[in-house]
Amino acid sequence: MKTSDFDYDLPPERIAQTPLEPRHASRLMVLDRSVDELRHSIFSRLSDFIQPGDVLVVNQTRVIPARLPAHKPTGGKAEILLLRRIDGLTWEALVGGKNIHAGSRLVVDDGPAAKILSPDSGTLRQVRFDEPIETFLPRVGQIPLPPYIHTPLHDPDRYQTVYANIPGSAAAPTAGLHFTPELIESLEKNGNHFARVTLHVGLDTFAPVTEEEVQDHHIHTEWCDIPASTVEMINTASRNGKRIIAVGTTSVRTLETAALYAAPGKRVGVYQGPTSIFITPGYTFKAVDAMITNFHLPHSTLIMLVSAFAGRERVLSAYRQAVDMSYRFYSFGDAMLIL
């Protein structure tokens, strides 16, 4: 497959710059694979399309204030964007600034100093702080909005899901941004269940695939966790003929990773650790029956995953219709339910 196979035209005005209020007012495109049909609704009417007993699997990761203004000892400006914690002092990070090499030292503004450990590799480095940076984040860090959002976000909590609980992400699992406490309560009264997993979102949210051939792309490792309580809920629902609905591509990747550890006859197994699963067309899904997702960037691993689930041409056709119907795209945009 060519990376260019996952391209589409998107007018810049279709990129949502601000979140809607209330969250569940977003539009919802419903793609039913069984009849190859598109329907159009709003997210607050999600219960029209799912059945009692279906399990919605949400990613409870919380975005940390991972963007750190910094400077070189000479005074030159720099920036550190934390992506993944390696140990108590060391992080994988994106580092911005001129002439910053392995061995360079940076000082976080109003925070600790740090040393660049790894050799130059684009802007992705390992950074070792003199003190644990977590204690400084609430004071010195900023929420790292995606680069295509240019409008300031006045309420940082709007880039968190309402169920965000486990700090560690550099980006929000944006499919979950559409849920409100009221909608969750309504769905639970409808007989639906919410199961929680954790995947701390990292570099591939920010970086489109640049290799010409898809198989040449090396996806970055992210940490995920699917606990025993979630495993039990999913396996029981599956045994009873109910659907497992992944809320977002991060939940999909966590579930499909957990499927590798499932006992015979089970859908998923308990797992905690790194995942680098790269889902592209041709992949056979083992854990996920349906998916809630946003509209994703061209050439991204996310649109490749969605294409693996629903078919590349079908997804690109739905995206073209979404553009024509003025759907809002990307992190603060509208949602798609794929059945």
Sign of CA dihedral 256, 262, 267, 273: negative
129 vs 88: CA distance, rounded Å = 9
Both tokens of residue 186?
């309504």
42 vs 336: CA distance, rounded Å = 10
pLDDT tens column, 79-90:
999 998 999 999
What pLDDT sits at residue 218? 86
pLDDT at residue 121 is higher than 60: no
Domain ranges (residues) in the chain = 3-63+153-338, 67-140
State mean pLDDT over 95-124: 88
Q: Determine which of 8-12, 121-125, 306-310 has the lowest per-residue pLDDT on average.
A: 121-125
pLDDT at residue 123 is higher than 70: no
State mean pLDDT over 65-72: 96
Domain 3-63+153-338's class? alpha beta
Both tokens of residue 283?
């992949």
Average pLDDT, the chain: 95
Domain 67-140's class? mainly beta
pLDDT at residue 208 is higher than 90: no
Query: Assign residue 297 a region: left if phi > 0, alpha if psi is -120 to 50, beta otherwise?
Result: beta
pLDDT at residue 219 is higher than 80: yes
DSSP reduced 3-state for 1? coil
- Is residue 339 within 8 Å of 292, Cβ to Cβ? no
Alpha-carbon dihedral angle through residues 183, 188, 190, 195, given to the nearest 10 degrees:
110
pTM of this prediction? Answer: 0.95
Share of the chain above pLDDT 70, in %: 97
Most confident of 117-121, 204-208, 317-321: 317-321
Helices (H) and strands (E) in the chain, counts: 6, 17
Rounded to 5 degrees, φ, ψ at 54 are -65, 145
pLDDT tens column, 161-206:
999 999 999 999 999 999 999 999 999 999 999 999 999 998 766 6
Strand 193-199 relative to strand 55-59, pairing:
parallel
What pLDDT sits at residue 220? 83
